[in-house]
Amino acid sequence: MNDFARTLIFFGLILIGMGILAAFFSKIPMLGKLPGDIFIRRGSFTFYFPITTCVLLSLILTLVLTIFGKR
């Protein structure tokens, strides 16, 4: 199998994993509604940017990778 095919398979698996995580995280009630998340609704326009949620998930992922990444 060439490198391009392996890369496509790798990114496909990453997308599947992200889809599973997105389905799981939608069940957590506070995730996405933390103080600091930007939510603007004006008429038919809605803008949502979960900055606090992104920072929190980034910190958790950094800690997990730091702990389990050093083997």
Q: Of 50, 1, 2, give the one whose Cα is nearest residue 26.
A: 50
pTM of the model: 0.56
The answer to whether residue 42 scores a pLDDT higher than 90 is: yes
Give tens-digit pLDDT for 1-22. 688 888 888 889 988 988 887 7
Q: What is the pLDDT of residue 41?
A: 93
What does the CA dihedral 53, 60, 21, 17 come to, rounded to 10 degrees?
Answer: 130
Among the residue ranges 9-13, 28-32, 49-53, 54-58, the one predicted with the least confidence is 28-32
CB distance 13 to 5 below 8 Å:
no
